[in-house]
Amino acid sequence: MLPATKSHRLSLADVVPSSLSALAGRENPLGLAAADKAIVLLVDGLGSAQLAARAGHARTLAPLLTKSAVIGSRFPTTTAAALATLTTGEPSGTHGLVGYSVFDVAHDRVVNQLSGWEGDNKAGYLDPATWQRVPTLFETASVASFVIGPERYRDSGFTRAVLRGAEYRAGASVSDRFAVARQTLDEIETGLLYLYVPELDQAGHAKGWESPEWTRALEDLDGEVGRFASTLGRREGMLLTADHGMLDVPVSSHVLFDAEPGLLDGIRHVAGEPRALQLHFEPDASEQHRATVLERWRIEEGSRSWIVSRREAVDSGWFGHVAPEVEPRIGDLVIAARKAVAYYTQASHAKNSMIGQHGSWTAEETSVPLLRFGAFA
């Protein structure tokens, strides 16, 4: 059986539209009260399951994590796709960032959607303004919008794809970013702030979310949120959410799938990420060959992953509404891990293996918090 694509009543796509509606005094899906200033705090990698498991280290956040304070990320549960959904209000099949790494049909290559954007003068340049296909909510907002994140992300292709329309302000540490947010709130009469915290996700990938390093990052965040929330005025509201959760996959559960006979027969490109592979066949691969390889994957890995063709994934709503120009970016085969495994080629494993993982459909990956502060409490 395939996973339920509507596992949560609300999703990341509702967060920014609801915040903008609250600023306009309108009813909204999240039921937010009217406010003059709204802050969306995105904590990369803070799933609701992980927060609940470390509740003793989060005195500010954990008491707010009720059953109704959980929403869904969208597939694939990866930063590139999820943040684009947050800032456009659209699913990945519409905005076009359908994975961590994605097939660029025009240039016959796989492109990393976070760091693989190339400069204007290089052949094969991906234009962030067109590859991410829809206007951001910052571009269409009737109020001023601000993004607060690390300086190194200011001019990245990904920033220009999903954060365009907002003024970028930088802070080196988590504490610095909250200080910039407070200063920005004090400067404006009304507006929307998006505050980004990548530190937990970074610790989780390197050491695992069950590590002391991840727990310390959570403690630091919790303290900063508590201090910042205490400064919110009567007409200032903040939402804390995340792009995805995470689960730890030990090296012993890393599957080197190119060592298995036949699983890469006729495969030209490997895209996606370790828990949500997207495999693209050679253009001349016959329908019979494609069906044979799909069945081979199901025999070998069907007990621990959902394995579907592109058509099955699209028809089942995995990527939401899929625009015709986006459909070829999705893998001919999609392998979404169901159990605690991660898929690598031998070369990719040697180069970039991780402990903390995400990308697939499990509750640990799809369930994220939506915590309310200030006017939104």
CATH number, domain of 139, equals 3.40.720.10
Does 95 score more than 90 pLDDT?
Answer: yes
Percent of the chain at pLDDT exceeding 70: 98
Residues 186 and 291 grouped into a single domain: no
pLDDT band of 231, cuts 50, 70, 90: very high
Tell me: do 22 and 170 sit in the same domain: yes
SS3 sequence of the chain: CCCCCCCCCCEHHHHHHHHHHHHCCCCCCCCCCCCCEEEEEEECCCCHHHHHHCHHHCCCCHHHCCHHHEEECCCCCCHHHHHHHHHHCCCHHHHCCCCCEEEEHHHCEEEECCCCCCCCCCCCCCCHHHHCCCCCHHHHCCCCEEEEECHHHCCCHHHHHHCCCCEEEECCCHHHHHHHHHHHHHHCCCEEEEEEECHHHHHHHHHCCCCHHHHHHHHHHHHHHHHHHCCCCCCEEEEEECCCCCEECCHHHEEEHHHCCCCCCCEEEEEEECCEEEEEECCCCCHHHHHHHHHHHHHHHCCCEEEEEHHHHHHCCCCCCCCCCCHHHCCCEEEEECCCCEEECHHHHHHHCCCEECCCCCHHHHEEECEEEECCC
Question: Which pLDDT score is estimated for 252?
Answer: 96
One domain for residues 228 and 279: no
Residue 217: inside a domain: yes
- Give the per-residue pLDDT at 5: 87
Tokens of 294: 């799909």
Confidence at residue 50, expressed as pLDDT on a 0 to 100 scale: 98
The pLDDT of residue 259 is 92
Residue type, 349: H
> Stretch 178-187: mean pLDDT, rounded?
98
**Domain co-membership, 73 together with 221:** yes
- Mark whether 48 and 185 lie in a shared domain: yes
Per the structure block, which two tokens stand in for 280? 């693209």
- Whether residue 367 is predicted with pLDDT greater than 90 in this model: the reply is yes
pLDDT digit string, tens, across residues 271-315: 999 999 999 999 999 999 999 999 999 999 999 999 999 999 999
Task: Examine the domain organization and report whether 291 and 208 are in the same domain.
Answer: no
Return the pLDDT at 6.
82
Query: Looking at residue 130, what is its pLDDT?
Result: 95
Confirm whether 6 is domain-assigned. no
Same domain, 222 and 146: yes
pLDDT digits (tens, 9 = 90+) for 307-348: 999 999 999 999 999 999 999 999 999 999 999 999 999 999
Asked whether the predicted pLDDT for residue 124 surpasses 70, the reply is: no
| Contact (CB, 8 A) for 368 and 302 | no
Q: Is residue 1 part of a domain?
A: no
**Average pLDDT in the chain:** 96
Residue 196 inside a domain? The answer is: yes
Mark whether 368 and 236 lie in a shared domain: yes
- Is the same domain home to 235 and 215? yes
- Domain count for the chain, please give it: 2
Check whether residue 160 and residue 270 sit in a common domain.
Answer: no
Shared-domain flag, residues 17 and 160: yes
pLDDT above 90 coverage of the chain, percent:
94
Domain coverage including residue 235: 12-98+114-246+361-374
Is there a single domain that holds both residue 238 and residue 325?
no
Q: pLDDT at position 126, please?
A: 87
CATH number at residue 350: 3.30.1360.180
**160: burial class by Cβ within 10 Å (0-12, 13-18, 19+)?**
middle
Confidence of residue 125 (pLDDT cuts 50, 70, 90): confident
